[in-house]
Every structure is written in C-alpha cells, then in structure tokens.
C-alpha cells in the first residue's frame, strides 16, 4: 500500500472516532504529511479501513524514519507516534462530553467508550501488555495471580545517552499531574499527546479519571487529584473511595499506603487505582467475625489472607467511613512490641498506616483495610514487614496495592531466569543465577520433575514464594502467636 493511502486510511479512522468531520480531511492529511516528512499526497480513494490505527501508525513511523524526520531511538518514535495518535483522539472537551452522554445511560457504557478510545489510540499499550507472562497458582489462600512484567521496552544505549543529554524540566511535576494531558513529552519524559482525562468531582474537589498505559489488569485506571500534593490516608480517603464506587459501581478502587517501604512508587501525588477486575483478596472469606463497638449496622471481620485485613460492609457510606476512620486512628497509635509492631519510634516518626480497598458487593458498600507497618530492624533493614531476604530472589520490591490484593508484579529478569531454573531442575546445561540455586534445590526435593511438568512445577513454586512474600508483609503473622496478637488489636476496637 502506498504511503498516501496509509495517510488517507489513518485520517478516515480519525474522522470515525468523532473528533473531526469530513470537511477536516484535507487539513488533517496535510498535517500528517508534514509530521512524517512527505511533500505531496497522491490521489487515493476513501475506503473502508481494515487495518488498525496502530498498524497504520507503524507504517507512518517507518516513512518518517526513511525521510530522516526521526531516528531509530525509541523515545523519538514514541513522541511522533503520540502526536499522530493525537489526531485520532477527540479533544478533552469532546471526550468528556461523550463520556457524560454515555454515563447518562449507563456507567458501564461510559467506561467502555473511554477504555476503547484509549486502546484505539494506543495510549493503552495493548501490544506491549500482551508480552507479559501471566499464570494463576493455587495456594492456601485461594488462587493467587502472577505477572512477569515485560510490557515496558528495554532502553538501548542510544536512548540512555539521549536522556542524559536532554534538558531537565520541572514540568509536569510528576507523571500523574493533570498537565500531562496533551503534553508532547521529551527524550527523558514520556509522550502524552494522545492522553485524555475524564474530570470528576469528589466532594467538591476536582479529580481526574484516566487509564494506565501499561495496565496490570483489566481496565486498570487511575483517579488523581488535580492538586499536586502528597498521598495521605485520612478519613477523606475512605469518603472518596466509597464515592468512586458509587459513581462507578462496576469498578473496585483502592489506595496505596502513604508511607515509604509499604507504599507505592509515586507517593508525591494523591491518587487511587481501580478497575474492572476481581482480585483474589476480594473473594477471600471472612474467617472471624466481630462486632465493632459503636457501629451496630456494620458487619466486620478478619479476612483469611496472608496479610492482616479487616473487612467492613454496610449500606451507608457515612457509617463505613466513620468505622474505617475509627480503625485507622486506633492502628496509628497501636503497638505490640512482642510482635515487633511499633506505632511510633522515639524520634516521633509514625510507622502505621492502612492500604484501603473499596468495592460494591451484593448491594452493600465494602471496605478492606490492610494494616501496614514500615519499621526496619538490624535483622530486616529493608523492612520488618517487607519481603525477607530468602524470598527476594523472586520479589524484593515494595508490596503495594496490587500485590496486597493478590496479583504479583514480578520483574522482567524472571522471564529468562525461570527458564534457566527449569533447565537446572531437568539436569540440563544452564546458567542459573546463584541466588536461585538454594530455592531450586528445595523445589527439586519436593517432587519428580519431567520435561512435561517442569514449567508447572516452577510456576507453582513461584506462587508459593509470593504467598510467603505476602505473609512477610503481614503485621500479624498466620501462626498462633500472630493471630492471638491480631485478636488483641481487635478487642481495642
């Protein structure tokens, strides 16, 4: 197909997506020509387009590189790709108007529209996400989910060098600021020309709703404050989370903890994560119910989970908020030194917080409150309630919201490393990493390993390690002493 036909087909898709009209065709086609370094457009038919926008843009990028508009440096390609895809994306006001129109009929229709748009314009990197390795593993806590994250492309030396030479600019302040919408990007900052944000009002505050470019689960979304301010778990957090589940009842929503070690990767900007996915923790059962004093209409219980989770259910948001705030304040000042649980160190540093998750279930509002402690010790300098050294060969990063709920986000290195573990277990030539050998020997002792079952054996072993990772992050351990300690805390409520 000629490059002129590619341009014409691409603009046909742009018009179909609702941001432009047929009268705009020549204008748009000339814009694309300029962007890819072409001088003229041959006459071609306007026809039904069978290729996706992603496929067409790939052809346009190849032509741009041929015309020396860009080089083969990844960042240059991504910047131009986003600018091209911006033409395929209606402006923010139009996207918000469409969203509102669909929402008036059904919230699911609204998110379906926005989600599909973000896939069509390649803001959500569906091709890259498809590279991730995913497998479920049965454990004592039900089925956990394992992902090896391969979606983000590796940077080559030219890209790294270009980033070093790029001018440092304090704009946008972070990757979650509203100012990212439509931002071209730089060699050292991701392209956001095709990025759109749905505006939300949460109790009088301006917030934004967007999808994650490298989603870890279905319809992985981010709800972010318009104000660039640090994350903080407060009573207002619970109010907002429950309000979001009222606005988007088919989505769960949760917040990372607001302290280092137990928090997420971006604590500088107040935000939540949600989506249309049922996590393993959501289907975990209550193993001990209790009465929350002063809240007779709230159902409360301890969840059967490797981490320490209190689940609250109720019909009224304000009652749930008050109950959750009661538990947060108790936990922020609660210590049990026999279990190395210390709320505050002598220098006045606070160490206790909560990872909260909200959802709708059977007509009720539901809140899971995961107790977190970020203390360190001489034995565990990375964190007492953090993956311990013997499991860090699989997972040593912070245990954030997504992992808390039972989905492991494991580093890319494991894709190749686990293949070498398999070869080691089979007695074949291998280059197994030294830090996997002891674990591999333990796996080998447990069962007979063959060519047919080795992958399943290794995946099962990884899932078992992830369960242990979550147990390490649990403040009240799953043994008799730990559960007795959990009940002591429950009695204070």
Tokens 């590796």 correspond to 154
Q: Residue 446 falls within a domain, yes or no?
A: no
pLDDT (tens, 9 = 90+) of the chain, 493 residues, equals 899 999 999 999 999 988 899 999 999 999 999 999 999 999 888 999 999 999 999 999 999 999 999 999 999 999 999 999 999 999 999 999 999 999 999 999 999 999 999 999 999 999 999 999 999 999 999 999 999 999 876 666 676 677 777 777 889 999 999 999 999 999 999 999 999 999 999 989 999 999 999 999 999 999 999 999 999 999 999 999 999 999 999 999 999 999 999 987 788 999 999 999 999 999 999 999 999 999 999 999 999 999 999 999 999 999 999 999 999 999 999 999 999 999 999 999 999 999 999 999 999 999 999 999 999 999 999 999 999 999 999 999 999 999 999 999 999 999 999 999 999 999 999 999 999 999 999 999 978 999 999 999 999 999 999 999 999 999 999 999 999 999 999 999 9
Starting at the earlier edge strand, list the strands of the sheet with 205-211. 198-202, 205-211, 221-225, 271-275, 252-254, 352-361, 364-373, 309-314, 299-303, 286-290
pLDDT of residue 154: 66
Residue 215 phi/psi, 5° resolution? Answer: -65, 140
Rounded-to-integer distance, Cα 23 and Cα 40, Å: 19
Per-residue CA distances from 319 to 241, 251, 252, 489 (Å): 14, 21, 19, 21
Q: What angle do CA 76, 192, 24 make, to 5 degrees?
A: 95
pLDDT of residue 263: 84
pLDDT of residue 451: 96
Q: Residue 55 falls within a domain, yes or no?
A: yes
The answer to whether 243 and 317 have CB atoms below 8 angstroms apart is yes
Task: Name which of 379, 371, 301, 384 is nearest 339 in CA terms.
Answer: 384
Lookup: tokens for 384? 């007492």
Using a 10 angstrom Cβ sphere, with 0-12 exposed, 13-18 middle and 19 or more buried, the burial of residue 201 is exposed
Q: Residue 365 falls within a domain, yes or no?
A: no
Rounded-to-integer distance, Cα 8 and Cα 12, Å: 6
Q: Where are the alpha helices (DSSP H) in 104-221?
A: 107-120, 126-129, 157-165
Tokens 């001489």 correspond to 378
- pLDDT single digits (tens) 57-85: 999 999 999 999 999 999 999 999 999 99
Q: Residue 80 falls within a domain, yes or no?
A: no
pLDDT of residue 26: 96
| 3-class SS of residue 384 | coil
Q: Residue 223 falls within a domain, yes or no?
A: no
pLDDT of residue 354: 98
Q: Which range marks the domain in which residue 53 is found?
A: 1-69
Domain count, the chain: 1
Starting at the earlier edge strand, list the strands of the sheet with 407-410. 133-139, 142-148, 407-410
Enumerate residues 6+ apart whose C-beta is below 8 A from 473. Answer: 262, 306, 307, 372, 385, 386, 387, 399, 403, 404
Q: Can you give the pTM of this predicted structure?
A: 0.94
Give DSSP secondary structure letters for 406-448: TEEEE-THHHHHHHHHHHHHHT------HHHHHHHHHHHHHS-
Rounded-to-integer distance, Cα 378 and Cα 371, Å: 22
| 3-class SS of residue 371 | strand
- pLDDT single digits (tens) 252-306: 999 999 999 998 778 899 999 999 999 999 999 999 999 999 999 999 999 999 9
Q: Residue 360 falls within a domain, yes or no?
A: no
Angle between helical axes of 53-66 and 74-87 (0-180°, round to 10): 130
Q: Residue 123 falls within a domain, yes or no?
A: no
Please tell me the number of Cα atoms within 13 Å of 430 on its side-chain side.
Answer: 19
Instruction: Return the sign of the alpha-carbon dihedral for residues 112, 114, 119, 124.
Output: negative
Per-residue CA distances from 124 to 128, 210, 328, 343, 411 (Å): 9, 10, 35, 40, 20
pLDDT of residue 152: 75
Lookup: tokens for 348? 């006045």
pLDDT of residue 24: 97
Rounded-to-integer distance, Cα 57 and Cα 80, Å: 9
Per-residue CA distances from 218 to 111, 211, 265, 273, 276 (Å): 12, 10, 20, 12, 6
Within 10 angstroms of residue 282's Cβ, the number of other Cβ atoms is 17
Categorise residue 345: left if φ over 0, alpha if ψ from -120 to 50, beta otherwise. beta
Lookup: tokens for 243? 């309000």
pLDDT of residue 1: 81
Task: Name which of 63, 59, 43 is nearest 51 in CA terms.
Answer: 59
Q: Which helix (H) or strand (E) holds 85?
A: helix 74-87
End-to-end CA separation in angstroms for the chain:
70
Rounded-to-integer distance, Cα 186 and Cα 327, Å: 44
pLDDT of residue 491: 96
Q: Residue 346 falls within a domain, yes or no?
A: no
The 8-class DSSP code of residue 90 comes to: -
């Amino acid at each position: 197909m000629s490059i002129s036909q590619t341009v014409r087909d691409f603009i046909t898709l742009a018009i179909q997506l609702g941001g432009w009209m047929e009268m705009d065709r020549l204008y748009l086609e000339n814009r694309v020509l300029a962007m890819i370094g072409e001088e003229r457009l041959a006459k071609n038919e306007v026809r039904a387009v069978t290729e996706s926008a992603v496929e067409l843009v790939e052809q346009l990028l190849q032509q741009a590189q041929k015309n020396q508009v860009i080089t083969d440096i990844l960042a240059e390609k991504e910047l131009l790709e986003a600018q091209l895809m911006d033409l395929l994306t209606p402006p923010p006001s139009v996207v918000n108007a469409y969203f509102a129109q669909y929402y008036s009929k059904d919230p699911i229709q609204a998110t379906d529209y926005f989600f599909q748009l973000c896939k069509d314009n390649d803001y959500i990197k569906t091709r890259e996400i498809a590279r991730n390795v995913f497998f479920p593993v049965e454990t004592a806590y039900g089925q956990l989910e394992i992902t090896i994250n391969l979606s983000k492309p590796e940077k080559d030396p030219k890209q790294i060098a270009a980033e070093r030479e790029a001018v440092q600019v304090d704009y946008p302040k972070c990757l979650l600021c509203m100012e990212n919408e439509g931002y071209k990007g730089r060699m050292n900052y991701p392209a956001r020309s095709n990025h759109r944000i749905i505006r939300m009002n949460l109790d009088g505050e301006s917030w934004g709703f967007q999808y994650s470019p490298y989603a870890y689960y279905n319809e992985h979304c981010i709800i972010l404050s318009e104000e660039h301010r640090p994350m903080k778990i407060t009573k207002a957090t619970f109010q907002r989370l429950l309000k979001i589940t009222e606005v988007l009842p088919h989505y769960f929503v949760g917040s990372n903890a607001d302290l280092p070690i137990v928090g997420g990767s971006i604590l500088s900007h107040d935000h939540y994560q949600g989506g249309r996915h049922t996590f393993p923790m959501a289907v975990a059962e209550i193993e001990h119910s209790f009465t929350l004093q002063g809240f007779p209409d709230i159902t409360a219980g301890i969840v059967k989970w490797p981490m320490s989770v209190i689940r609250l259910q109720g019909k009224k948001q304000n009652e749930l908020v008050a109950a959750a705030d009661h538990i947060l304040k108790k936990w922020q000042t609660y210590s049990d030194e026999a279990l190395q649980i210390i709320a505050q160190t002598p220098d006045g540093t606070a160490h206790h917080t909560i990872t909260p998750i909200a959802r709708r279930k059977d007509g009720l509002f539901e809140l899971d409150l995961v107790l977190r402690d970020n203390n360190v010790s001489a034995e565990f300098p990375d964190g007492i309630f953090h993956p311990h050294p013997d499991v860090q060969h699989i997972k040593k990063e912070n245990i954030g919201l997504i992992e808390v709920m039972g989905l492991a986000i494991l580093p890319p290195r494991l894709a190749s490393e686990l293949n070498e573990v398999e070869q080691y277990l089979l007695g074949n030539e291998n280059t197994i990493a030294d830090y996997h050998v002891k674990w591999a020997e333990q796996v080998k002792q447990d069962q007979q390993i063959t060519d047919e079952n080795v992958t399943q054996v290794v995946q099962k072993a990884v899932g078992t390690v992830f369960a242990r990772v979550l147990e390490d992050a649990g403040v009240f351990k799953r043994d008799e002493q730990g559960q007795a300690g959990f009940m002591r805390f429950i009695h204070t409520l």
